[in-house]
Each structure stands twice: as structure tokens, then as C-alpha cells.
């Protein structure tokens, strides 16, 4: 220690030495009897010695210290001469201490006591609680045998409902999809209740090798979130669905944007809350004052009794839904003509020209009908810019739900996509934007869902939809806009007579139920002994009437096979066969074929094009068609 402080102690040694030298000189003066002479001799000797030492060391003394060294030497000589004559008294000692330490200050400034070296911090891993989130991640998730080997957590931050971390992934090996695909294992590794305690977002830095991980300790969606009223924002054209799991903002359904109206899809298994979510959307959409709600339910109103009762046009059963889609095709075509006639760009909702939101529950039961599938595909692609949108609900997100038609699925999902818990174990990686998430593993919480960002500006994150306690009451208190005259006339009698048709269908349904109660219908393992009415996707031959009676089975007319070609070899579909039958019966124009089959213009036009491509029909005259063999016979 003394060696380390030797430079700091030198002024003390110098002052002490002067005290001793001064007292010795004073005693020498007393001994000789002439203190003044001794004092003069001591002063002269000291000064001379200082001059000699200064001359010898002038090359070693830095230029900025020479004046300081001269002052120290002069002060020391003067004090020593004074002490030799007067002795070391309180006054002379005080003078030495004050002057000596004042002159020592520059020396001490140059030779400060050094600060102790920084003590290295302990390894965070050594001081972290073994049950802390970063430590659990390191041990169970980022371990070599963990679900995300080599990953780790940094940048811990407190958020209102828990903690947020940056999860650093292995570049080129892992991404946000890797995290989403392993949420259940991550929740297990972090000793959490389940994946509902985790929220994964893209990192604000834009670095795809990082994700923002939020660990929720008291999520706002653990308890039921109740619907308190319509939530439509006219500035953004969106409807509030419910809070995100981390409490930051709300999931919102895009209904309108500039020049467009949007639909979407809600996927969820039984009891997941998909119909409840559609009621939430319908109430807020109706409350805009410029949106009309149409509702189709193959289960004849069982999916949502509230919408079946209060929708502007409820279509209950696949027959009525097919009629609705045909009418909407006409409305879509006439609105497009209206745009062209008046130079309108796209669609902007108004009271005079409202948007039409068509909600179809259990859509897989509708889209397996070829005509319905083709009509829906056309509406999904063309309806956006004329204010007609499809919102469809089903239990499965695969192509089967959309009748195997990818363009239909893509067009509908371009608007909005919400996924709730499903019962299917084969739904992973089939939804764009939600790769890795298996809806079958989502928490069994009604209304818990993932919203898929389809705009590139939002979030793909879990939320909980608001539960509508009294959907019938809300819809009854929310009057809807009236359709404009052009759409009413384009829809035709199937719309204007919808009330009477719905009442007749309800009476028929009640009669069937009462008949079964009375035992008038005998059920067997293969179904009722009285066969049901033919499905509407089966073609009606020319001249046939719907008065054939309930359960009458109408066979397709036969027609001669074209020359050199077998019917099976041509791979004719049932719908194509119906068109061929109509042409064979003399219905050779598109209008006549539509009248014979009951199908819409777009669908018939597509079927005629397919038959032309197959070489089964020709077009010998403008607007008329003929079977190949008929054309050959007349030629």
C-alpha cells in the first residue's frame, strides 16, 4: 500500500523533513550562541544547494513544472531560515503546513489516487432465477434439443398485461412461422398455462430473424368480452371485433375501403363462436345506415336464428340460397352497367346506394353445388367494385369448403380471414399468413381467434370476439337501409316475393316435422321412405315442371353421342349433360337454355364455352348452338 501511495506521500515527507531540519538549525544556533548567524548560514546553504540541484536537473524537469519547482525551493529555503532563527513554534509550523500543502496541490493533481478497476458483472445466467422466462427459454426452448435450438431472449420490457421480449432466432434456420408452429411447446417450456398466454408479432426493427414475444400474466381476454354496441369506424371503414390478447388495440374487420367493399371468411368448429362473430359483424354493418344484410343458411335458420329472423333477406335452405345467388349475379351485372353509364369509379356506400353484405353460414354445403360455386366465385371477384360482398362461414379452411375452387377461396380470403378453434387435425399450413398455426390446437375458449392480416398493415395475432348477449334485440333495434330501385328490379320477384316464399317454406318445414311426429313418414337406415325433393343443382329438362310433386325423381334426358366420341370418353359433367340435353330438345339459344335449366347467364355461358372446347357442340349461327352430330346432319 505504501509503495502504491509513495507519490501521494512525498509532500508529507518534505514538510516533515523541513520541520526536523528547522528545529535542528534552531538548536544549533542556540548552542553556538548566535542564532542569527546560524539562520543566515542555513538559508544561504539551502539556497545554494537548491540552485545547484536545479541546474543539474533542469533537463529532467518539464518546462511547465520549472516555476513550480523554483517556488517550492524558494519557499523551503525561506521557511528553513526563519525556523533556524525563531525556532519551530505554532506560528512557524502553521506557516509551513499552509504553504507546503498549497504548493503540493499541483503535485497531487498530477498523481491522483487511481479509481479502483470496474468489477466485472456476473454472468446474467448465473444470477437469473432458474424460473425466470429467459432462463426457462434457454433451458427448454433454445436448448440443442429444444423446439427452437440456439434461440434466446433479450430486451425484457414491462407491458400492461405482462412482459415483452425480443426472441433472437437462428438466421436462415428459423423465422416467425417457426415460432407460431411451436407455440404449444414454447408454452410448455416456459411453464405457462397454454398458448393463450403468448402473443407473437413481427419485430419492430423489421429483422426477420427476430420476433416480438409477449408473455401474458393477466390477459384482458381471459374473461368473456361482452358486446356493448355497434363499433363501425367510418374513417377506416372497419368494424371492431374484440381486443387482442395483449390488450394493445382491437382486431378489426375491413368492410369498406376506397372504391371497394370487402367480404371474408370465418373458420371455426362447433361451439367456437363463429356464428356469434358473424352476428357481431352484421349488427355493426347494419348500424352504418348504408349496408343491407342478406343471410343464407343451409340449415334453414338453425345456425343463427337472429339473422334468420332479422336479415333483410333470409334465404333458408340451399334452394333459396341458390335463388339468392342467381339474383345477386343479375344485381352485380346491373350495378356494373350503372357504373359504366354514369362514369362511376368503384363503389362508395351511401343511403341511396347501399352496400350488400351476404352472409352464408356452413358455406361448404352450398359450394358443393356446382352452379352455386360458380356464381359465388363470380360474385367474389366482381362484387367488390359494385358493393356486393360475401362473408362465408365454415368448419374447415381447406379447398373442400370452397368446392375445390381455389379462385373462390382466394377471392374471399383477400378481404378478411378469421380462424377460431376447429375440430379438424389437418388444417395446419393451409391458410396463407397463418402458416404453422394449427386451429385444432387453439384454446377451447368461445370467441378466441386469430385474425390474419390481409392488408400488410395490420397484425396477425390472437383476439377474442365480443359476445352478443341479445343478438335478436340488437338486430331488431338496428334498422337497415333499403335497397336502391336498380338492385330491387334486378333481383326480381325472387326478392320482392321473399316474404311470401319464406313463409311458404316455413309452413312446409313445419308440416314435415308434424308429419314425422304423427308417424306419417317412416324412417329407415337409408332415410325416409318418401324421397326428398331433387337437389336444385340437378338440371331440369325442357318442359319439366316443379309441380311433379315432392319426391319426384326426374331423370336427365338422353341424347345421342356425337360422332366418333363416347359420352364417358368426353368426361361430360352433370351440368354439361343438362345443357346438351336442352340443346337436343331444341333450346339452342343461351336464353332458351337458361329458361330450360333455371341457371344464370354467367354459368350457362361458361358451360357452353366448355362444351365448345370439348368439341361436343358447335355454333353454326350467331347466338345459336347445336350438337356436333346435328350440325353434321344439317351440313
- Range(s) of the chain covered by CATH 3.30.980: 128-216
* Distance separating alpha carbons of residues 160 and 244, to the nearest angstrom: 13
**Sheet-wide strand order for 198-202:** 152-159, 162-168, 210-216, 198-202
* Distance separating alpha carbons of residues 330 and 600, to the nearest angstrom: 8
Vertex 274: Cα angle to 359 and 390 (nearest 5)? 20
Please tell me the predicted confidence (pLDDT) of residue 423. 75
- Range(s) of the chain covered by CATH 1.10.10.10: 574-634
Please tell me the predicted confidence (pLDDT) of residue 612. 84
Please tell me the predicted confidence (pLDDT) of residue 259. 94
Through-space distance between the first and last CA atoms of the chain, rounded to whole angstroms? 123
Please tell me the predicted confidence (pLDDT) of residue 559. 42
Do the bridges between strand 256-257 and strand 210-216 make them parallel or antiparallel, or are there none, so unpaired?
unpaired
* Distance separating alpha carbons of residues 420 and 447, to the nearest angstrom: 7
H helices of 264-405, in order, are 274-286, 305-310, 318-342, 364-367, 370-382
CA distances for 471 relative to 27, 190, 241, 358, 360, angstroms = 115, 40, 15, 18, 17
* Record: fold of 232-491: Rossmann fold (3.40.50)
Mean pLDDT by 10 residues, the chain (635 residues): 66 76 73 68 64 58 68 76 76 78 74 62 52 92 95 93 94 90 91 89 92 90 91 96 91 95 94 93 96 95 93 94 96 96 95 97 95 96 97 90 93 93 64 65 86 82 93 94 96 91 80 82 56 40 37 41 43 81 88 84 82 84 79 55
* Record: fold of 574-634: Arc Repressor Mutant, subunit A (1.10.10)
pTM above 0.75, yes or no: no
Task: Answer for the pair 26, 87: CB distance below 8 angstroms, yes or no.
Answer: yes
- Range(s) of the chain covered by CATH 3.40.50.300: 232-491
Please tell me the predicted confidence (pLDDT) of residue 594. 85
Return the CATH number of 128-216, one of 3.20.20, 3.30.980, 3.40.1350, 3.30.70.
3.30.980
Rg (CA), the chain: 46
Amino acid at each position: 500500500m505504501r509503495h502504491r501511495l509513495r507519490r501521494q506521500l512525498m509532500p508529507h515527507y518534505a514538510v516533515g523533513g523541513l520541520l526536523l531540519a528547522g528545529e535542528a538549525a534552531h538548536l544549533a544556533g542556540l548552542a553556538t550562541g548566535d542564532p542569527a548567524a546560524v539562520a543566515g548560514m542555513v538559508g544561504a546553504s539551502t539556497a545554494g544547494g537548491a540552485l545547484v540541484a536545479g541546474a543539474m536537473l533542469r533537463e529532467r524537469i518539464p518546462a511547465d513544472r520549472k516555476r513550480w519547482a523554483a517556488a517550492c525551493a524558494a519557499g523551503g529555503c525561506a521557511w528553513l531560515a526563519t525556523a533556524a532563527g525563531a525556532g519551530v513554534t505554532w506560528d512557524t509550523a502553521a506557516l509551513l503546513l499552509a504553504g507546503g500543502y498549497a504548493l503540493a496541490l499541483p503535485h497531487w493533481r498530477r498523481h491522483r489516487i487511481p479509481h479502483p478497476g470496474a468489477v466485472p458483472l456476473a454472468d446474467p445466467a448465473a444470477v437469473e432465477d432458474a424460473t425466470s422466462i429467459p432462463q426457462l427459454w434457454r433451458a427448454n426452448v433454445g436448448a440443442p434439443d429444444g423446439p427452437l435450438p440456439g434461440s434466446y431472449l433479450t430486451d425484457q420490457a414491462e407491458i400492461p398485461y405482462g412482459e415483452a421480449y425480443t426472441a433472437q432466432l437462428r438466421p436462415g434456420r428459423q423465422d416467425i412461422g417457426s415460432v407460431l408452429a411451436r407455440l404449444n411447446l414454447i408454452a410448455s417450456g416456459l411453464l405457462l398455462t397454454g398458448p393463450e398466454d403468448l402473443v407473437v408479432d413481427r419485430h419492430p426493427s423489421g429483422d426477420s430473424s427476430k420476433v416480438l414475444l409477449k408473455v401474458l400474466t393477466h390477459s384482458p381476454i381471459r374473461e368473456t368480452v361482452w358486446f356493448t354496441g355497434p363499433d363501425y369506424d367510418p374513417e377506416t371503414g372497419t368494424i371492431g371485433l374484440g381486443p387482442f390478447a395483449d390488450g394493445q388495440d382491437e382486431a378489426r374487420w375491413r368492410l369498406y375501403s376506397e372504391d371497394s367493399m370487402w367480404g371474408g371468411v370465418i373458420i371455426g368448429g362447433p361451439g367456437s363462436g363463429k356464428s356469434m362473430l358473424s352476428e357481431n359483424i352484421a349488427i355493426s354493418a347494419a348500424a352504418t345506415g348504408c349496408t343491407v344484410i342478406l343471410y343464407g343458411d343451409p340449415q334453414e335458420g338453425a345456425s343463427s336464428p337472429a339473422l334468420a329472423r332479422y336479415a333483410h333477406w333470409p334465404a333458408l335452405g340451399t334452394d333459396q340460397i341458390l335463388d339468392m345467388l342467381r339474383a345477386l349475379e343479375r344485381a352485380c351485372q346491373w350495378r356494373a352497367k350503372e357504373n359504366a353509364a354514369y362514369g362511376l369509379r368503384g363503389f362508395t356506400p351511401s343511403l341511396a346506394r347501399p352496400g350488400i353484405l351476404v352472409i352464408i353460414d356452413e358455406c361448404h354445403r352450398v359450394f358443393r353445388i356446382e352452379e352455386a360455386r360458380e356464381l359465388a366465385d363470380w360474385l367474389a371477384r366482381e362484387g367488390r367494385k359494385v358493393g356486393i360482398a360475401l362473408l362465408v362461414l365454415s368448419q374447415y379452411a381447406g379447398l373442400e369448403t370452397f368446392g375445390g375452387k381455389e379462385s373462390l377461396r382466394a377471392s374471399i380470403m383477400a378481404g378478411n380471414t378469421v380462424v377460431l378453434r376447429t375440430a379438424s387435425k389437418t388444417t395446419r399450413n393451409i391458410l396463407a399468413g397463418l402458416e404453422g398455426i394449427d386451429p385444432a390446437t387453439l384454446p377451447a375458449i368461445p370467441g378466441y381467434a386469430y385474425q390474419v392480416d390481409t392488408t400488410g398493415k395490420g397484425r396477425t395475432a390472437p383476439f377474442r370476439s365480443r359476445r352478443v348477449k341479445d343478438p335478436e334485440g340488437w338486430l331488431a333495434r338496428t334498422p337497415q337501409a333499403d335497397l336502391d330501385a336498380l338492385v330491387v328490379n334486378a333481383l326480381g320477384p325472387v326478392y320482392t316475393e321473399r316474404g311470401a316464399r319464406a313463409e311458404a317454406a316455413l309452413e312446409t318445414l313445419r308440416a314435415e316435422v308434424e308429419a314425422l311426429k304423427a308417424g306419417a313418414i317412416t324412417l329407415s337406415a337409408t332415410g325416409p321412405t318418401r324421397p326428398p325433393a331433387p337437389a336444385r343443382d340437378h338440371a331440369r329438362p325442357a318442359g319439366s315442371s316443379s309441380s311433379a310433386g315432392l319426391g319426384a325423381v326426374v331423370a336427365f334426358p338422353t341424347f345421342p353421342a356425337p360422332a366418333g366420341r363416347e359420352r364417358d370418353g368426353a368426361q361430360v359433367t352433370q351440368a354439361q349433360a343438362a345443357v346438351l340435353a336442352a340443346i337436343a330438345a331444341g333450346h339452342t339459344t343461351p336464353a332458351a337454355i337458361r329458361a330450360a335449366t333455371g341457371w344464370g347467364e354467367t354459368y350457362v355461358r361458361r358451360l357452353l364455352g366448355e362444351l365448345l372446347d370439348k368439341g361436343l357442340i358447335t355454333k353454326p349461327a350467331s347466338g345459336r348452338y347445336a350438337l356436333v352430330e346435328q350440325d353434321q346432319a344439317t351440313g
